[in-house]
Amino acid sequence: MFDIFHTFIIHSSAEKIFEGISAPDGLDNWWTRNSEGNPKTGSVYRLDFGPEYIWEAIVTKNIGGKEFELEMTKAEAHWIGTRIGFKLNKKSANTTEVSFYHTGWPENSENYRISSYCWAMYLRILKRNIELGEQVPYAKKIERIMLSKSFFNFAASGSFSKNES
């Protein structure tokens, strides 16, 4: 199995960040186009990324204000059974270390590698939303993801080298 990990600081309370990573409105601010669900363990989330990408996940962990985890149950095949989660470590009243993970990938595929990069982009949007109140329309999020996929396809084609300008 292959896993993705990102750890970073958000200058905010753990409580505010927890809302951003567990409540449907919070998820919509940085990740999904629209989500529905209840952050209670065992509940099902509906994650809408567009007409052909209505995915589902079950809440597998909710330790109020500290940890939240989803297991993907309806998604693209390589995402099924993977777990997406957060652990929050309060450093001070207004500083929280966020440890993100997306574990259980079946193989080190191109999709796994692109997803690791895309998670970093999404987590940056989460950080800026919580710290600055910045809103990024869903279409702009997708545009950025598509640009990153184009970059990876270009790099994988062998046309990219450090010496090109």
Do the domain assignments include residue 103?
Answer: yes
Q: Which of 43-47, 112-116, 133-137 is modeled with the greatest confidence?
A: 43-47
Do the domain assignments include residue 116?
Answer: yes
Q: Which two tokens stand for residue 55?
A: 């995915």
Report residue 55's pLDDT band, with 50, 70 and 90 as the boundaries.
very high
Do the domain assignments include residue 84?
Answer: yes
Do the domain assignments include residue 85?
Answer: yes
The predicted pLDDT at position 153 comes to: 52
Element spanning 156, H or E: helix 138-156
Do the domain assignments include residue 105?
Answer: yes
The predicted pLDDT at position 160 comes to: 35
Do the domain assignments include residue 98?
Answer: yes
Q: Which two tokens stand for residue 92?
A: 């001070």
The domain that contains 29 carries what CATH number? 3.30.530.20
Cα–Cα distance measured from residue 9 to residue 30, given in angstroms and rounded to the nearest whole number? 16
Do the domain assignments include residue 160?
Answer: no
* Percentage, residues of the chain above pLDDT 90: 72
Task: Flag whether pLDDT at 161 surpasses 60.
Answer: no
Return the minimum-mean-pLDDT range out of 9-13, 24-28, 131-135, 149-153. Answer: 149-153
Give the helix ranges, DSSP H, for 31-137.
Answer: 110-132
Count of structural domains, the chain:
1
Do the domain assignments include residue 165?
Answer: no
Mean pLDDT of the chain, nearest integer:
88
pLDDT tens by residue, 56-97: 999 999 998 999 999 999 999 999 999 999 999 999 999 999
The boundaries of the domain holding residue 67 are 2-153
